[in-house]
Structure 1
Amino acid sequence: MDTDLGEFLQSRRARIAPADAGLREYGRRRVPGLRREEVAQLAGVSVDYYIRLEQGRGRNASDAVLDAVARALRLTDPERLHLYALARPTGTRPVASGGVYQATVRAGTRLVLDALTAPAFVLGRRVDVIAWNALGDKVSGFSAVPAEERNQARYLFLNPVAPEFYPDWETVAVETAAFLRRDAGLHPDDPALHALVDELSERSADFRRIWGAHPVKEKTHGGKRIRHPEAGLLDMGYESLLLPGDPDQLLVVYTAVPGSATAAALDALSESVTNAHV
């Protein structure tokens, strides 16, 4: 994971022009963005110290130093937390009895899903889809996918129909890779996550391109457009909530503006689900 820290810091200094940081440019630059010594100058640390940090040899870096580097590189809040996770890896975090991660939801979470009238599902570690309600299944078709393949990243990067299903495929792909990158920072010793990243890197040039840019982002809220085979284009929002007591599980709920064409289409899909179970 030391290389992850170095690659992350390099990717972030590469996106900042010296002039934008208030620095004078000098000499010919072999790479875009800031040099290591310029980041050190902006962060108020020695060049040698910053180089050791970028090489993964700064395990004892203080909060003040990491925050200074985050400010110098203009990191977002999720990126700053990712920097902390990479600089101070703690290994896979146990979340179930015996320290073994369980990709299942509590009975109470299942009841919440079924009580929701909007499409909803739960993401587990590695953006695995581990539970959903009936309308969520009707919108996204989770139950039609073999259990071992119910993973958002695998669907987006390996399924040839994904760009048709998601009209804004690039945006969704970057968001998914960014959330997966966040997971990798939190669980650096997860062998299944490493296997997934290796598989996607080998089979998808798009994944290699996006993953190599080191995107990091929380999945909190936003918009999602889906081209549904029955309902047509669904223009929805989404809200995501971390489940208390299950920090590796994220409840995602799709929303539609009342009175909109999408709201009417979701009502029709919901009615078809109800009729199918009558």
Structure 2
Amino acid sequence: MARTELGAYLTARRAHVTPAEANLPVTGHRRVPGLRREEVALLAGVSADYYVRLEQGRERSPSAQVLDALAAALRLDEDGRLHLFRLAGLGPRVRAVGVRDRVEPGLLTLMDAWPHNPAVVYNRAYDILASNAIADALFHGWAHSRNLMHMVFTDPAARAFYRDWHDVARNCVAGFRLGHGAAPDDPRVRQVLTELLDVSPEFTELWAHHDARGKTLERKRFDHRDVGPLTLTMQTFDVRSAPGQELVVHHAEPSSPSSEALALLGSLAATSPRA
């Protein structure tokens, strides 16, 4: 029987937990990093045979109690736990009705009222659905693509634009994986996934790690061709009126060089025609 997404996720997650982290003794030679199957079973209070069946796809219907125990054994955070439950069919998933691409007019008005804060709205496929003028200036008018995943993994300029490209890439894939878990049958999400697996070895390698994590407060470092280095803090918000959409707002530390560079970028945006 073919391994399921649930089995692949369990395998990937136990590789990231060391025996020391799980308060287990280190005995014998280990062929792979992380916990052995029997160690996960011991920590979760299930039989080793049952856990092996889960990883191999021969058991597909674990109970919520078992999933809670596995989440604790594998030291999953809330996003990881949610993803685990979704893969087991016990978490909320979105029906495959397509990714909603309409942004509420009131939200567009609000974004345009932030001339000094780059703001974008994107969907689970990471398509940019809306952006204000300064965000357009920050991201060079989206000249390569209006899909953030394509921008990160297929634009040659991305590795210079994002000064910490590897961290950005890893976080993007983890967020995309979480969205994919919520709507695995959505045609646009599947299309972007297929495209990236076909063209980007870096994406394919990161996808195989099975990291699933939503965006939180984070800082990103950019190197912009017009205003130079920028360090911006990002705040991410779910759009309640459109499940699956997220609003990301960037800001700079007051009175910092990045704040001055962002002000210059705002001036450039104000004098440049929008597409």
Distance 1:190 1:23, change over 3 A: same
Equivalent residue runs for 1:98-247 within 5 Å: 99-117=97-115, 118-145=117-144, 149-247=145-243
Structure-2 residue corresponding to 1:17: 18
1:275 maps onto 2:271 in alignment: yes
Deviates more, 1:27-36 or 1:100-109: 27-36
Quickly say closer, same or farther: Cα 1:249–1:153, change in 2 above 3 A: same
Shift of 1:164: 0.6
Give the letter for the 1:199 counterpart.
E
Instruction: Go from structure 1 to structure 2 and tell me whether the alpha carbon gap of 1:199 and 1:274 turns closer, same or farther (over 3 Å shift).
Output: closer
1:85 counterpart residue number: 86
CA RMSD of aligned residues (A): 2.2
Code of the residue aligned with 1:126 in structure 2: it is: A
Instruction: Provide the C-alpha distance between the structure 2 equivalents of 1:114 and 1:212, rounded to a whole number of angstroms.
Output: 38
Task: Tell me the TM-score normalised to structure 1 length.
Answer: 0.89
Which range is displaced more, 11-20 or 250-259? Answer: 11-20
- 1:92-121 per-residue CA deviation (whole Å, 9 max, x = no partner) reads 6249xxx44321211111111111231110
How does the TM-score come out when normalised to structure 2? Answer: 0.90
Contact 2:99–2:123 (CA<8 Å) still a contact in 1?
no
Number of aligned residue pairs: 271
**What stretches of structure 2 of length at least 5 have no aligned partner?**
none
Q: Does residue 1:252 correspond to 2:251, yes or no?
A: no
User: Quick one: distance in 1 between partners of 2:27 and 2:143?
Assistant: 58
Task: Give the whole-Å Cα distance in 1 for the aligned partners of 2:225 and 2:131.
Answer: 19
After superposition, give the CA deviation of every residue in 1:220-259 in whole Å (9 maximum; x if it has no partner): 2100111111100011111000011212110000010111
**Cα pair distance change 1:2/1:88, threshold 3 Å:** farther
Counterpart position of 1:261: 257
Identity of aligned residues (%): 41
> Shift in Å at residue 213 of structure 1?
1.2
- 1:155-198 CA distances to partner (integer Å, 9 max, x unpaired)? 11111111011010000000000001111111111233233222
The residue type equivalent to 1:12 in the other structure is R
Q: What amino acid sits opposite 2:74 in the alignment?
A: L
Deviation (angstroms), 1:22: 2.6
1:137 maps to amino acid: D
Contact 1:92–1:189 at 8 Å: present in 2 too?
no
Structure-1 separation of matches of 2:3 and 2:241:
30
Superposition deviation, residue 67 in structure 1: 1.0
| Distance (Å, rounded) in 2 between the aligned partners of 1:183 and 1:204 | 19
Residue 190 to residue 92, structure 1, CA distance change in 2 (3 Å): farther
- Aligned residue number for residue 32 of structure 1: 33
| Equivalent pair of 1:234/1:265 in contact (CA under 8 Å) | yes
Shift of 1:43: 0.4
Q: Distance in 2 between matches of 1:24 and 1:273?
A: 59
Matched-pair contact (CA < 8 Å) for 2:86–2:92: no
Aligned mates of 1:272, 1:107 — CA distance in 2 = 25
Name structure 1 gaps, 5 residues minimum.
none
Please say which of residues 52-61 and 197-206 is displaced more in the overlay: 52-61
Query: Following TM superposition, by how much is the alpha carbon of 1:26 offset from its aligned partner in structure 2, in angstroms?
Result: 4.2
For residues 191-229 of structure 1, give each alpha carbon's deviation from its aligned partner in whole angstroms, at most 9, with x where no partner exists.
332332222122222112211111221112100111111
Residue 268 of structure 1 aligns with an amino acid whose one-letter code is L
Change (3 A) 1:226 1:81: same
